[in-house]
Amino acid sequence: MTEAQYIDQLKSLWPEESRASREVLSLAAEAVRDFPRSATLWFLRGQPITMAPDDYIFSGLDAICSFQQAIELDPAFTDAYEELGRCYDRGRQEPKEYYRKAARLRGEPLD
């Protein structure tokens, strides 16, 4: 499967509810294994992990690592900064630097 096919398939399986299926989670893991230099696939791996069932093998820390990897591969990936901020929000850690970075990259005014 190509990188574009993985992206299309992940988007077609995207959770419509608050929980991600094991199918989309497994596909996302397979995608980054096959295309480890794809910032988009790392981002798409992190998002469903934040919606994984409580008993799933990956945790919120895995989502954080996915978004950090996406940012490492593409330092201008604004959506990855925002998702990273949301992860830290959920963990009650200080997310403001990630929201500010996303706003700066978009050219939006900072608070």
Q: What CATH class has 3-11+19-106?
A: mainly alpha
Confidence at residue 99, expressed as pLDDT on a 0 to 100 scale: 73
SS3 80: helix
Please write the tens of the pLDDT for every residue from 5-31: 999 999 898 777 777 778 888 899 999
pLDDT at res. 34: 98
- The confidence score (pLDDT) of residue 104 equals 83
Nearest to 65 by CA among 22, 36, 97: 36
Query: Coil, strand, or helix at residue 94?
Result: coil
pLDDT in tens, 55-92: 666 677 788 999 999 999 999 999 999 988 888 776 55
pLDDT of residue 93: 56
Phi then psi for 94, rounded to 5 degrees?
-85, 105
pLDDT at site 31: 97
Look at 20 and 54; give whichever has higher pLDDT.
Answer: 20
**Average pLDDT of span 32-45:** 97
* pLDDT, position 73: 98
How is the chain split into domains, by residue range?
3-11+19-106
3 against 57, higher pLDDT: 3
